[in-house]
Chain A
């Protein structure tokens, strides 16, 4: 029986294992040093905040693995020996494989800041990081203030976590406005306001210079490039993540920033594949980046590589870009591409609407000339994935999107609807006279 070994029990590795099991009878082993069982990394914040217990982050009950004959091995892989098709673990044991899937995920970035390895300085990625935060910042007596460095999704999550325990937080963001490398200005500005409303001390356009230690080797303060010294007990480093591939350095597997793979997710070595955060495409697919540290791309690569390994060789073909996040109380969804002013393409034009009372806004990107709809960002309004996916595939123009916007609304029943306001602003801005169509189940379900 062919033995498939997967390094990493995150969403990518586990999805691969599940789909290989669905489609074959192969022997499957998952190796991980992080936790015994798969858990949802995205939910770690809710454990600290007391919304859930750690066990709730595990999507499958513990009996699931044995029942589906997926062997779990708790261990850290030191070396991949592809000549002899075996892995050497940190405890000296070896595991042989016929096919190997690398799904080792990411690690938090550290940019060589002085003091970045002091006690009380940490990222937020793994279960171990969560445990460490619980120890470093159990309450606002032990942790008098925390400084978070890096204004991305993990940074704002960490700020929300610490605020839930009433710990004062200073948030150092390199950009002049939160996440404005990704979000258009209007949206970024709205989040700035929202961060301040949550009593987070947001310092924009501010960089970390050094983390200072006390006599026990613990972080006691940081200095910034604005000449400030901020006293703190915990420093959160959340300036992005990069592939967790150090153990592969001399393995012969081709590496860039991540593990280089082709569209079939194959590495340069036969029978070794890489999926998820750690995989790097030779060229970005469409407008995607070569490395995508996103939950659902990990899952999709897992689904794809499982097909290939089970004899149905298919390419990794992620469809239209989509994503979602939550900034404190603000839900964000995006479908298609809406670039920030910094990343905006030549032909891209934006329509931005923001409600005058609620923290709700929408940005629609479309082609200046052809009016083709390119993408939408929504804050505070949930939208239907299927509908936007279809409109993108059908290359609808922006007027069509406006006209049928109600079909795309995915907010719970009885919520206030904003389509009228959105469309009337669109009409006045672009001199159109689009009248909104009523929601139609028939359209929503057509070609579904």
Chain B
């Protein structure tokens, strides 16, 4: 078994190695016709830009590592300076240099990778999947009898912030930085999944398709790990299946198929992604597209609003925010699969809780204020509200919250700060659901009388950094806005103290002076005071 696992690691590392090498290799050469097509498709009218870029790019060879974006940037600057001087506003180039560079690369790649997409897919994704499964599947045997299997989590480098964890951290952060900010280097990856993308939506893959596909693959493989690790625990099995289903079907397949069907509104839409997590739902351009998108567009508009205003809070009332955060949500889905080995790293200190409340509610406020601005701007048909450019607020949010917080920190920091950094400190939807869960819900984690022995397994493995033990050892139920109901505290409890349940609101929050089992006469106790 050990041998199979070690071979698995080797195969996985080869796959990962090839994948990591891809951004640095490959050849790119743009011919005249592709160049014209590109300029056309971008609607660029600046002849200065066109001629400048043409002299730099057309029929010239570029290797993978040579950055294109600075060259494009240079041309843009040059053209725009000139146009500004001449007050030729219509000719200015508004396209971003990174996006342009990415598009150029995608059009102009040639050589081994684009010509052997299938083989290259196998050498990266294929080997990664096979290797990972060879490591994971033998755990059916190596973990021994079913039950809680947390042995050596704090002895292993990978799960105890050792050098492996730091390497994973560096890899994840770099991956997200490329994805969000240097997408031209992701072009080689897009070739690998072109065939899949074409079979789904009919279009070649962009870097976000790579991400979406990879997300599904990683979740599926790590879900297999969950199924093995928690095979004694039906709640975990069902929940894992649920997040996997919603990710693959709702976040990945349906949006792609919508594009294929070329419905009146032909952009893909993730029907489960609720505002304000889906922060650009009320952005000017999205509203315009939805309204212009005929019946389907209007349906999505209404659905999006009903989802946030009615469905989400009503479901939280009945089941707690877990129905969304750990049963449906994509961010939660990744956290509960890829992130499961890191759940113990969330800080349980009171200080962290304070930071959490300021941050997450701050982000919610930011999202709401921004949406207020965009909506006002939309209806008043102005780009400036209260003297502030709406676009600049949107850009700031997209950059700080959408990219840096949710992506780079949210997932990149898994091995160091735990798997729910975004969900705990940043997600505005989680903040909103949290209010409902805390103040108007049937959900609670029931503490079983006086059985708690304060061992701390529950707190240690709470991914949301809730000090579960602090409540359990006092005999109090756990009713916290941040709880996503993953059910792991209940699973790891050696004494059967915790149970996630939806019951009557009355008695849900139950502060106790003396725990069950100690028969002091409570009335007497109160009267004597």
Is A295 located at the chain interface by the 8 A CB criterion? Answer: yes
Is A146 located at the chain interface by the 8 A CB criterion? Answer: no
Say whether B516 contacts A57, CB under 8 Å.
no
Alpha-carbon distance A307/B519, docked complex (angstroms):
13
Say whether B525 contacts A314, CB under 8 Å.
yes
Q: Name the CB-closest residue of B to A302.
A: B518
Contacts of A312 on B, CB cut-off 8 Å? 525, 528-529
Contacts of A326 on B, CB cut-off 8 Å? 494-495
Alpha-carbon distance A11/B520, docked complex (angstroms):
19
Contacts of B501 on A, CB cut-off 8 Å? 413
Alpha-carbon distance A416/B455, docked complex (angstroms):
27
Is B234 located at the chain interface by the 8 A CB criterion? Answer: yes
Say whether A412 contacts B455, CB under 8 Å.
no
Output the least CB separation between B129 and chain A (Å): 28
Say whether A331 contacts B494, CB under 8 Å.
yes
Output the least CB separation between A335 and chain B (Å): 9
Say whether A319 contacts B460, CB under 8 Å.
no
Say whether B234 contacts A410, CB under 8 Å.
no
**Looking at chain A, what size class is its interface with the partner chain?**
35 or more
| A385-B450 contact in complex given A50-B152, A445-B507, C-beta closer than 8 Å | yes
Is A42 located at the chain interface by the 8 A CB criterion? Answer: yes
**Residue in B232, B449, B470, B496 whose Cβ sees the most chain A Cβ within 10 Å:** B496
Which chain B residues (474-529) contact chain A, with CB distance < 8 Å? 487, 490-492, 494-496, 499-501, 503-504, 506-507, 514-521, 524-525, 528-529
Contacting A386 at CB < 8 Å: which of B449, B454, B470, B506?
Answer: B449
Contacting B145 at CB < 8 Å: which of A197, A304, A318, A416?
Answer: A197
Bitwise, B178-214 to A at CB < 8 A (1) or not (0) is 0000000000000000000000000000000000000
Output the least CB separation between A97 and chain B (Å): 25
| A412-B516 contact in complex given A51-B153, A57-B456, A329-B147, C-beta closer than 8 Å | no
| A43-B495 contact in complex given A312-B525, A412-B233, A415-B234, C-beta closer than 8 Å | no
| A317-B519 contact in complex given A51-B151, A53-B154, A414-B235, C-beta closer than 8 Å | yes
Number of A-B contacts (CB under 8 A): 173
**Looking at chain B, what size class is its interface with the partner chain?**
35 or more
**Residue in A47, A317, A416 whose Cβ sees the most chain B Cβ within 10 Å:** A317
Contacts of B491 on A, CB cut-off 8 Å? 412
Contacts of A317 on B, CB cut-off 8 Å? 518-520
Alpha-carbon distance A51/B492, docked complex (angstroms):
10
Q: Name the CB-closest residue of A to B510.
A: A448
Contacts of B499 on A, CB cut-off 8 Å? 382, 410-412
Q: Name the CB-closest residue of A to B470.
A: A59
Is A322 located at the chain interface by the 8 A CB criterion? Answer: yes
Output the least CB separation between B283 and chain A (Å): 39
Further pairs besides A53-B154, A412-B233: 14, Cβ < 8 Å: A11-B454, A46-B455, A50-B153, A59-B473, A61-B349, A300-B450, A312-B525, A317-B518, A319-B516, A322-B450, A322-B517, A324-B495, A386-B448, A416-B234
Shortest 3 CB-CB contacts between residues of A and residues of B: A385-B449, A329-B147, A382-B496
